[in-house]
Structure 1
């Protein structure tokens, strides 16, 4: 059963990743399935001009990027589709590098839908068919918001060998510092969903997210979003 109610709740105390693994979070017995050794991402949509790049060269719709290519944006937004079936919408001024089992997000904001892992310098976010938002903040920390589904955190670097997979994050916002420590964890509330769905990674896109139907059904049944949002979901615009 999820730890988060559907009603608004207060912030939880800040906890280190070790404390989460040993206390609030329980170790999982098995890791998620491995992804392909070489990732392929296809550009599906470019909005607000043509400033979406693959290895610093202007990209076009249907162009493919492969590990270890770097995908970045300036004033534009965009969307890519992965060979796994997942999709990702990329906000302005964002950058990530395709790696063997994830993409490494180094700046900006990405909305992921489907079975696609995201890596940070210190943590891997493993998705099981999820809709989640990852934002690299100006202070070097990262905010993860899991809208629907689950995401599991796995530390990378020196501590990775001794740290097990931890219980997944579900309908929560998690703040992770540059050292891989979870410094804040709280349940998402209606305002969070309204801000995300009304923001730049939903408005204006024509290509649907991989799991937009699951997200739409969850929002319609559990979160009091505005009527225009539900209307857009019902027409499959997400």
Structure 2
């Protein structure tokens, strides 16, 4: 299988949280990012072929996923969703950049019809989106570098399947807490040190008032 080079980029608090609480938009935390940190985020967007988030991020944050703080092309927006549940007024359905919805055979036909009238729809999987098949399809469509700004569930599923090459973190200098507050990676988690995915620190630097760390993912076996 050929697949894109995948980079997870995320704004994360000191205690590893993505939002203020479960169900709250990550835009609340992103309000604290200064211009230089935003520029770093959008520089990365401008350098990749595609940008991916999960459907829950679309429903909660309603992002545009375009390049704004720097000059550059908008990447293709890619949304994996097993049910194709995307609000009809979602910003990613606007024509400012290409969008691909990756869904499954179980998705309701009326949703597929609505989406296919606005954007490209790809079927990859029966009950759940087959991420490995999806990556192969994206590569063959010219997506060679893919940025992921997803939530904890999407991040977990990509890492679990060995589909991530880098993780870049914009550190937010505060603590949120909360047992149920989403963290960078969710899911069932790895249960032993033999299973965990190891990282190698590639770079660390300041952009504005924010520490940025860039990590290489080191899969073993």
Structure 2 length normalisation: TM-score?
0.28
Higher relative CO (Cα under 8 Å, sequence separation at least 6) belongs to 2
Structure 1 length normalisation: TM-score?
0.26
Which one has a larger percent helix, Structure 1 or Structure 2?
Answer: 2
